[in-house]
Structure 1
């Protein structure tokens, strides 16, 4: 795809295309942005596309309700891109607060760019009305499915509203400094020299927090592998595993590969086997390893982790990382389209898969070894209840304590069952950790 020159209309048209795909065609925001952003030459345009898309997807029902109230009759389905563009226009006015004249003019021009010249007047009129009258506040959490809100209430009681509020706030940008390429303190100085302020968290050995997110192109030596983008909660996985030097480690469900890369950056003698069922995601993982100077490190296998005969050589592992497929309810602030795609029926399928993975992978663990079960979920059925059920049916499994860095200790029936971080705690995503020891 050829590069797109900077134009006020161009990023708005691209944002409308992305929103149309995500809102009305069930596509993934992350996947759509991965295709849409690279052709934009100016990093400011890429940042604008992301800002518009996230602003709309954090409050889609608010913007759609406003549009419906402004229209005498709904737009036909064939005009879904115009609808998406209007939502993008509303988001520019509130909450992004962009200069109204420029935002409206560029959005009207984007309608023409998208082939909707005949509706440019409608776009202009509706955005001018929104500018004059403002948008209704509405329920900021109305886009959460009712079943999921009820589940949060059942799981977290009085804290459920705080979870919803934290999930609606744009997160900071967390960096993981590649220990093979330099120290965290040295990289912080390099950021300061580039005009980027970073905050050190003493609980995270390799992390820097940017309260003002930056395009990766602005990060010194990003392409040379000096640093990666990875949330604080995900970086804590390496600490929870607490590996000895040169350990033989399995990373099941390994893509996109950030946690495996973190382990390899910390220990050049680590013996890694990484399994991922999706071959395309595994290829992207190899590309990420190459950027970080980790090409050729470990064995990366495209396989179903539960089908042991297809990939396991029978040699036990000292440690197993199971970052299990889950509802992703702890990362809504980073992936707001999770709420569009998640169905109540998904939960039963996910918990069944998690249980199969736990049972299968336990067989690959050496006596005395450690399995770390982790999810980016905040639902108890996937976390402490899953761990409690595993402990009940697995005679040689015991849970080990973790410290306060990993969030609150949770229990089932008075028995320890892991640690939970809720969204925003410590500046990180919602995440669950349970370290299990094999007798």
Structure 2
């Protein structure tokens, strides 16, 4: 098996078909058992997506005319990525990448010429790429401008953070064990890690490890979840006897954390429109030995699934651009479009208005996104408050993020976290 060819085909599914990298990789891995081969393919695919705009710029400089064959283009990008960013010997990177094109003789000679020319002219090509923001920062032009508009002082830091590999963070199940005891278990397994001061359940690993090497993972002592996402359960402040609604709940990390943090809930109802993603919620809860009422339903139309009983707490983890988690899903830079933002903003507004009547007076709604754009976050909440006289924002006093016009924003890379936004809204 030529792993470069597999990687190129996965990337082609993303570039040509608009498939998410996660789905494309999962499909490719159905026929690959080798852990080593999977890891190499994944490293190539994530790396090319992360550095796509830079690699694409350089490839354009090396071609006489645009390359219309997406599979061959993906293979050329795979070759360039190895030469620039991986510790693969140049001769091996070139020969194996060229070999992957053996069914297309014209492509073999083209890729061979492209990669060898790059090696000869690498310094000049890289210097040229640094002069163009899209290539230098490896982001689409619309996204660079949007981030610079919202965060002029922090934009460069955000854009650079987006191109970094994120840390692996664990959420300790505090209903089963203490964070200190679990940290000791990691030490005994020679897994270096540190606690996160402002999040009582979070442990950050020095290096990622396979989950099956984590002590107690199989029996629910720990889960993988970024620190920023772990803050939701604490903000929700669930109490014994509360009835809780988790809207847009899949894949269920926050659902599980709420249940771990308060075992004496009256009920937790988790709703998501995607049946396959809701299956993942069920699988996660099963591993953790937790129970919730799982509903496949449309959050914009609660009358089709709501039983009429009000909720004390609502977590609305709203559908969003996901621009705060580009580190984890670099294909977002290839798949997200500028016109998506307005559509998502409209959907967020519709869902907020639809679930607000389900909240009991005196209840609390946490509005959350994994976006860094103000129009999805503070502007969205500000507009909602203006339209609902019985909605009052509660300030978030915290050692993380930045207070804005409404709510609190975490920018990508702050305290090593994903980009996230939270707002607390009380019902009078």
TM-score, normalised relative to structure 1: 0.89
Instruction: Tell me the equivalent position of 2:360.
Output: 366
Assess, with a 3 A threshold, how the Cα gap between structure 1 residues 160 and 352 changes in structure 2: closer, same or farther.
same
Instruction: Say whether residues 1:108 and 2:86 are aligned partners.
Output: no
Deviations 1:80-132 (A, max 9, x none): 222211211211121223232333333334334xx446644443443333333
Question: Residue 246 of structure 1 contacts residue 267 of structure 1 at CA under 8 Å; is this kept in 2?
Answer: no
Q: C-alpha separation between the residues in 2 aligned to 1:284 and 1:264?
A: 16
Assess, with a 3 A threshold, how the Cα gap between structure 1 residues 198 and 40 changes in structure 2: closer, same or farther.
farther
Task: Name the SS of the counterpart of 2:139 in structure 1.
Answer: coil
Instruction: Tell me the equivalent position of 1:128.
Output: 116
Q: C-alpha separation between the residues in 1 aligned to 2:44 and 2:63?
A: 22
* Correspondence list, 1:25-424, <5 A: 25-37=17-29, 39-77=31-69, 80-112=70-102, 115-116=103-104, 119-134=107-122, 135-137=125-127, 138=129, 139=132, 141-142=134-135, 143-270=138-265, 271-294=267-290, 297-411=291-405, 417-424=406-413
Unaligned runs of 5+ in 2: none
Question: Residue 47 of structure 1 contacts residue 215 of structure 1 at CA under 8 Å; is this kept in 2?
Answer: no
Question: Residue 12 of structure 2 contacts residue 74 of structure 2 at CA under 8 Å; is this kept in 1?
Answer: yes
Question: Residue 56 of structure 1 contacts residue 63 of structure 1 at CA under 8 Å; is this kept in 2?
Answer: yes
Question: Residue 17 of structure 1 contacts residue 84 of structure 1 at CA under 8 Å; is this kept in 2?
Answer: yes
**CA deviation after TM superposition for structure 1 residue 263, in Å:** 1.0
**CA deviation after TM superposition for structure 1 residue 25, in Å:** 2.0
Q: C-alpha separation between the residues in 1 aligned to 2:115 and 2:240?
A: 60
Q: C-alpha separation between the residues in 1 aligned to 2:57 and 2:384?
A: 45
Instruction: Tell me the equivalent position of 2:416.
Output: 427
Question: Residue 220 of structure 2 contacts residue 289 of structure 2 at CA under 8 Å; is this kept in 1?
Answer: yes
Question: Residue 134 of structure 2 contacts residue 140 of structure 2 at CA under 8 Å; is this kept in 1?
Answer: no
Q: C-alpha separation between the residues in 1 aligned to 2:412 and 2:85?
A: 21
Q: C-alpha separation between the residues in 1 aligned to 2:35 and 2:82?
A: 18
Assess, with a 3 A threshold, how the Cα gap between structure 1 residues 71 and 400 changes in structure 2: closer, same or farther.
same
**CA deviation after TM superposition for structure 1 residue 39, in Å:** 4.3
Task: Name the SS of the counterpart of 1:363 in structure 2.
Answer: helix
Structure 1 stretch displaced more, 98-107 or 205-214: 98-107
**CA deviation after TM superposition for structure 1 residue 406, in Å:** 4.1
Assess, with a 3 A threshold, how the Cα gap between structure 1 residues 265 and 106 changes in structure 2: closer, same or farther.
farther
Question: Residue 43 of structure 1 contacts residue 215 of structure 1 at CA under 8 Å; is this kept in 2?
Answer: no
Q: C-alpha separation between the residues in 1 aligned to 2:150 and 2:7?
A: 36
Assess, with a 3 A threshold, how the Cα gap between structure 1 residues 241 and 29 changes in structure 2: closer, same or farther.
same
TM-score, normalised relative to structure 2: 0.92
Q: C-alpha separation between the residues in 2 aligned to 1:117 and 1:177?
A: 53
Structure 1 stretch displaced more, 318-327 or 185-194: 185-194
Task: Name the SS of the counterpart of 1:199 in structure 2.
Answer: strand
Question: Residue 59 of structure 1 contacts residue 141 of structure 1 at CA under 8 Å; is this kept in 2?
Answer: no
Structure 1 stretch displaced more, 25-34 or 65-74: 65-74
Assess, with a 3 A threshold, how the Cα gap between structure 1 residues 196 and 317 changes in structure 2: closer, same or farther.
same
Deviations 1:182-228 (A, max 9, x none): 33333333333333211211212221112322233333343443322
Structure 1 stretch displaced more, 68-77 or 259-268: 68-77
Question: Residue 366 of structure 1 contacts residue 438 of structure 1 at CA under 8 Å; is this kept in 2?
Answer: yes
Q: C-alpha separation between the residues in 2 aligned to 1:65 and 1:97?
A: 22
**CA deviation after TM superposition for structure 1 residue 319, in Å:** 0.2
Q: C-alpha separation between the residues in 1 aligned to 2:116 and 2:189?
A: 39
**CA deviation after TM superposition for structure 1 residue 404, in Å:** 2.5
**CA deviation after TM superposition for structure 1 residue 230, in Å:** 1.1
